[in-house]
Amino acid sequence: MSANRSVVSSAKLIAVCTLVSRITGLARDILLAQAFGIGWVQDAFSYAFQVPNLFRRLFGEGAMAPVFVPTFTKTLENEGRAAAWRLLARTLALMTLALAGMIVVIWVVIAGVWWLAPADPEKAAPRALLLSLTAVMLPFMLTICLLALLSAILNCVGSFVPAALTPVLLNLLMIGSIAWLAPRLYPGQPRAQVYVVAWSVLAAGVLQLVVIVPALRANGVTLGFRFDLADPTVRHMLRLLVPVALGQGVLAFGVFLDAQVCTMLSHVHDTAGSFTLFGWSVRYPLQEGALSAITYAQRLYQFPLGVLVISLATAALPAFVRHATRKDWPAWSAEVRQSLRLAVFEGLLAGVMMIMLPQAITRLLFERGHFTAADTIRVSFVVACYGFGLWAFCAQHIVLRAFYSVADVRTPLMISAGLLPLNVVLNVVLVWFEGVREAAFAISSCVTATLSVVLGLIILRRRSGTSLMDRDTWLGLGKMVAAAAITVLVLAAIQPWVAPWLSRIPGKLLSRAIETLGLLGLGTGAFLAAAWLLRLHEVRLLLARRKR
C-alpha cells in the first residue's frame, strides 16, 4: 500500500502540472475554433499537426521512452550515474541523427507529391494548403521527440514537474499567435493566419528544449552527444526498439490513417461533390470539417485522459520496472492491479460526463466566432461516442506499461497489428451511414481499444504467471459500473429541470457556464458519493492527503 500511495502521490503531482498544461491547451483549442471554425483551413492544420505527433508517438513517448526508461533505470541502479549519462549521450545522438534523416526524406516526398500531382484547378488550392502546412511543421517532430526522451530522464531521477509543464510553453506561444500575432499580420485572412500558427509551433519546440536543459542539470544529469553503435547496452536497446517502434507504429499509424481516410473522403467546398472509383461516380460521404470535428472531440476526451490517467501511468512505469527488475512479482501484480483500477475508475467518471453532457460541454467551450450552433451538434455527437470507450483508453495506458516493464515488447505489436485491419474496416464501412458519418472514427477507436485491453490482460496473465483480475478487482469494477449507472440516472433526472431555469439568467456565456459546470459538479458528486457508499477504496486513495 505504501508503494501504491507513492505512485499515486507522484501521479497527483504530475496531474496538477498536467492540468495547467491541459487548461492552456484547451484555451488554445477554443481560440482555434473561434478563428477557423470547422472547415478546410482547420482540417489542413489538424492534419499537418498530426504528422510530427505521429513520430512523437512512434519514437518519443511511444517507442524510445518505453525502451529507454527500463534500460536507463537498470543502468542507473546497477552501474551508477556515469554509465547512465554515457547511455543518455549515445541515445541522444542516435535519435537526433535518425529523426533528421526522416525529416529530409519526408520533405522530398512532399516535394514529389506537390510537383507530380495532377493539375486539377479545383483541388490545387486545398492540396497546396495541406502539403505546405505539413512541410512547415515537420521539424517539430525532432524537438518534440527529444523533449519526450529528456522528460523521461527527469521522471527516472524523480523530477516530474518540469517535464509536465513544458507543454504549457507550446500552448502559450500558439495562443499568442492565434489571438494577437496572426490577426495583426493578416487581418481577415484565415488562410494566411494559419501559417503564423504553424511557425509558432516550431518556435515553441525549440523553446521547450531550451527550458528543460537547466532542469536536467539541476538534477545532476550530465548531457552529451556521442554516436556509438558498438556499446552493448545501445545495441540491446536497438534490438528492443524495432518491435516496440513497429508496435507503436501500428497504433500511431492507425491514428494517422484515420486522418488520411477522413481527409480523402471529405468534400471540400467549391469542389466536385463526387469522385470516381473503378469507373463509378461516388459522392463523398463526409463534408469538410469532418477531421476538425474529430480533432475537437479528441481534445475533449484527451483532457481527462491526460490530466488523470497519463499522469498515473507516467508515475507508475518506474515502479513497475523496479518490481520487475527485482522479480518481486506479487508487488508488481499489486501495483499494476491498483493502477488499472484507478485508471478505469477515472475513465468511467469522465466517460459518463461526455455521454450525458456533450452538447453543454461543446457549446460552452467552442461555440463562438466561426464555430456555429450546427458545429456544436456535429462535434458533440462524436464526443458522446468517444465517451463510451474512455475507460478503455485509460486502461490501455496501464496495460501497455505493464508489458514494457517486463521487457515484453512484441505482444503489444501483435495486438496492435491484429486490430488495425478491424479499425480500418469499421471506419470505411460506418462513414457511409447517415446517422454515423465522422463518428465512425470514434466508434472504431472504442471497439479496438476495448479489445486491446481485454487481449492484453489475458496475455499478461499467461506471460507473468500472476492474475491481474482477481475476485476483488472484478467486484470493484462491478461497483464502478454501478456508480456510473447511478450517475446517469441522476443527470437524466436533473437535466429537464435545468433549461427553464437557465432561461432566466442574463448573459449567454454565464448561463452556459452555470449549466455545464453545475451539471458536471452534480454528476461528479453523484459518482463519488455512489463510489463511497459502495466502499470503493479508489475514492479514499485519490482524495487522501499527501503525507509530508
49-58-455-386 Cα dihedral, nearest 10 degrees: -10
Give mean pLDDT, residues 80-90: 88
pLDDT digits 0-9 by tens, 166-217: 999 999 999 999 999 999 999 999 999 999 999 999 999 999 999 999 999 9
Question: Which is more confidently placed, 466 or 423?
Answer: 423
Instruction: Classify each residue of 37-54 as buried b or exposed e, where b means 16 or more C-beta atoms within 10 Å of its C-beta.
Output: bbbbbbbbbbbbbbbbbb
Higher pLDDT, residue 347 or 4: 347
Q: What is the pLDDT of residues 168-182, one digit of tens each?
A: 999 999 999 999 999
In degrees, to the nearest 5, what angle opens at C-alpha 446 toward C-alphas 47 and 21? 55
Compute the average pLDDT of residues 145-158: 85
CA atoms of 421 and 454, how far apart (whole Å): 18
Whole-number average pLDDT of the chain: 87
Mean pLDDT of 350-375: 95
Reported as a single tens digit per residue, the pLDDT across 367-416 is 999 999 999 999 999 999 999 999 999 999 999 899 888 878 778 878 88
Q: Which of 200, 186, 180 is nearest to 45 (CA)?
A: 200
CB atoms within 10 A of CB 522: 16
This prediction's pTM: 0.86
Look at residue 65 in the predicted model and tell me its pLDDT: 60
Who wins on pLDDT, 484 or 240? 484
What are the pLDDT digits (tens) for 33-57?
999 999 999 999 999 999 898 887 7
Using left for φ > 0, alpha for ψ between -120 and 50, and beta otherwise, residue 188 falls in: left
Q: What integer pLDDT is reported at residue 40 of this predicted model?
A: 92
Which pLDDT score, from 0 to 100, does residue 325 have?
Answer: 82
Give CA–CA dist 378/382, Å, rounded: 7
DSSP conformation class of 505? S
540 Cβ neighbours under 8 A, 6+ residues apart:
none
Q: Which helix (H) or strand (E) holds 61?
A: none
